[in-house]
Amino acid sequence: MENFETIALIGKYKSPEIAGPLLDLANFFEQRGRTVVVDPLTAVHVGEHRRLVLPLEEIGRQADLAVVIGGDGTMLNIARTLAPFDVALVGVNVGRLGFLTDVSIDTMFETFADMLEGEYIVEPRMLLHAEVRRSGGRVMDVVAFNDVSVNKGAEGSLIELEVLVNGQHVYDLRADGLIVATPTGSTAYALSAGGPIVHPSLSVLSLVPVCPHTLSNRPIIVSAESSVEVLVQNAADARAHFDSHSHCELKEGDRVVVRRYPDKIRLLHPSQHDYYHMLREKLHWSEKPGR
């Protein structure tokens, strides 16, 4: 059981409506003897307050727990930054789906009271490290939580890719693109493209073609220890996307190399967390069709 002596509160960017819940949480934790810190962007929205303001990297060094108040996009951004510091993260959902931010704002005080007593589930989540290589050099180096994708651009023409795993040729792909997804990302863009839902406890990568010209090009699962290489063979306009937070224009001959990132994220869930219940709720699996 961790004591969580120093707790960081991080709110959704450009969302002043999080000020009230965030200050309420700050008071809640301080009444229980915890030190509360906030990041600079969050501090802008909460007005007058007495908490220490620290950059995210310093939060990573000092905090035992980071509470993210927002949606999955906010959690993705924060997780990438804090991953090297092994800070536990928990999300309070004020977004839409909430695959990663699964604490309800309506019950957050009861949930955090339980967590401070040691009643929570720890779930490690893997990340990706991606490089874009061009003419023997490296033009981009980035960490992603959900996925790395290579897609056609604004011109709309299909792109041609060669896909290799651990240096072995897998297939040539003519398609709108290819997604390399973590288990976390399997319920994001990869799911929309027809990829499988992968339980987050598994150590695998999903390779999911986007609208392949040859229908026999299907999603495949490979070990997370694999090195996945995507070679741009023919593309008038192609781009690499990393969690949709950063992008890189690609040229023919470029290689996008994706591997597991050495550090993991530690997500905390309420003790009653049930992954399959979450899927049923978010994806409406239990709804009966209308008559």
- Residue ranges of alpha helices (H) inside the chain are 19-31, 40-46, 56-62, 72-82, 108-116, 189-192, 275-283
Euclidean distance between the first and the last CA atom of the chain, given in angstroms as a whole number: 50
Residue 106 pLDDT exceeds 80: yes
**Which residues span the domain enclosing 135?**
128-260
**Whether residue 218 sits in one domain with residue 116:** no
Is residue 237 within 8 A of residue 155, CB to CB? The reply is yes
- Catalytic positions are 72
**Whether residue 185 sits in one domain with residue 68:** no
pLDDT (tens digit per residue) in 58-71: 999 999 999 999 98
224: tokens are 């997370």
**Whether residue 149 sits in one domain with residue 64:** no
Residue 290 pLDDT exceeds 80: no
Predicted local confidence at residue 289, as pLDDT: 65
Predicted local confidence at residue 94, as pLDDT: 87
Percent of the chain with pLDDT over 90: 81
pLDDT (tens digit per residue) in 228-253: 999 999 988 899 999 988 999 999 99
| CATH code of the domain covering residue 156 | 2.60.200.30
**Whether residue 185 sits in one domain with residue 135:** yes
| CATH code of the domain covering residue 110 | 3.40.50.10330
pLDDT (tens digit per residue) in 127-184: 999 999 999 899 999 999 999 999 998 877 899 999 999 999 999 999 999 999 999 9
Is residue 130 within 8 A of residue 139, CB to CB? The reply is no
Percent of the chain with pLDDT over 70: 98
CB atoms within 10 A of CB 239: 17
Is residue 144 within 8 A of residue 127, CB to CB? The reply is yes
